Amino acid sequence: MTGDHRVPEGQLAQYALRVGDDALIAAQRLAEWSARAPEMEEDIALSNIALDQLGVARFLLSLAGGADGRSEDDLAYLRDDAEFRNCLLAEVPNGGPTAPPGASGDFGVTMVKLLLLGAYQLCLYERLVDSSEASLAEVAGKARKESRYHVDHAAQWTVRLGDGTATSQARVQQALDDLWPYTHELFEDDPLAVWAAEAGVGPLPSSLRAAWDAIVLPVLEEATLTVPPAGWHPTGGRDGRHTEHLSYLLAELQVLHRAHPGASW
């Protein structure tokens, strides 16, 4: 997936939207484990991480919607997939990129994905605390503390599974092989990101790579996992070009709101 990037009007709103969409879609994926995790402690842990992500999403979607009078609910429930700006990694199903719609999740895939995405979010939030936009700095100050826990939780499980049995090691390595190509999109510098960096709003994504490597690579080494070679890597999520998985995710996320427009309870 390739194409030209153009900075839209309302850059701050669009910047907040992409960060908020990452958190919203990640929250929805993690929530799919509620009452389905392999053990009760993980059921609670993943639900709490999903709530952390949702809290960040609510704040940032409210900020983004303020530019044109839309609410956080409008942005979460009334946009089509092409209007979302989340990275493709966030929408990958819990069973992996090739999992069919409705398939049961794979706990190893979820932990590796949480490590990769959570480390990116942590690196981003650590830089956003110095944002020239006070609202972003405020939410980042809280979110980075939560992200440290997310990364630590995922790291422990990645090591436990990767350095476990031959079967668990093979499955987690396959999860890493499948998910790794999606990480390259996280560090692409498009015009909106360049504007944010020049305005002091947020860092260039490419500048986060070294800090991300410093978090992720030691975990993978301890887990006896091999970093996949460079190769094909999908992109386009920041421009609204998504996988079919997002459509299925949004159908579930939005069905109640769309079935009862204007309802409140």
Give me the domains of the chain, ranges plus CATH numbers.
Answer: 11-227+236-259 (1.20.1260.10)
Q: Which residues contact 181 (CB under 8 A, 6 or more apart)?
A: 228, 231, 232, 233, 234
* CB-CB contact of 95 with 106 (8 Å): yes
Instruction: Look at residues 186, 191, 240 and name the one whose alpha carbon lies nearest to residue 7.
Output: 191
Range 50-71 average pLDDT: 95
Q: In whole angstroms, give the CA distance from residue 19 to residue 205.
A: 12
Q: Is the pLDDT of residue 96 over 70?
A: yes
Amino acid at 40: M
161 CB-near residues (< 8 Å, 6+ apart): 108, 111, 168, 169, 171, 172, 223
pLDDT bracket for residue 265 (50, 70, 90): low
Q: Give the residue-averaged pLDDT of 227-238.
A: 94
- The Cα 183–Cα 164 span in angstroms is 25
Average pLDDT, integer, range 182-189 = 98
Per-residue pLDDT of 141-181, as tens digits, reads: 999 999 999 999 999 999 999 999 999 999 999 999 999 99
pLDDT at 20 over 70: yes
Least trusted range by pLDDT, from 33-42, 113-122, 140-149, 205-214: 33-42
Report the pLDDT value the prediction gives residue 81, as an integer from 0 to 100.
97
- Eight-state DSSP code of residue 183: G
Listed residue (228, 208, 192, 20) closest to 119, CA to CA: 208
Give per-residue pLDDT as tens, 27-50: 999 999 998 888 899 999 999 999
Q: Read off the pLDDT of each residue in 131-146 and give the average, rounded to a whole number.
A: 97
Q: Evaluate if residue 249 carries a pLDDT over 60.
A: yes
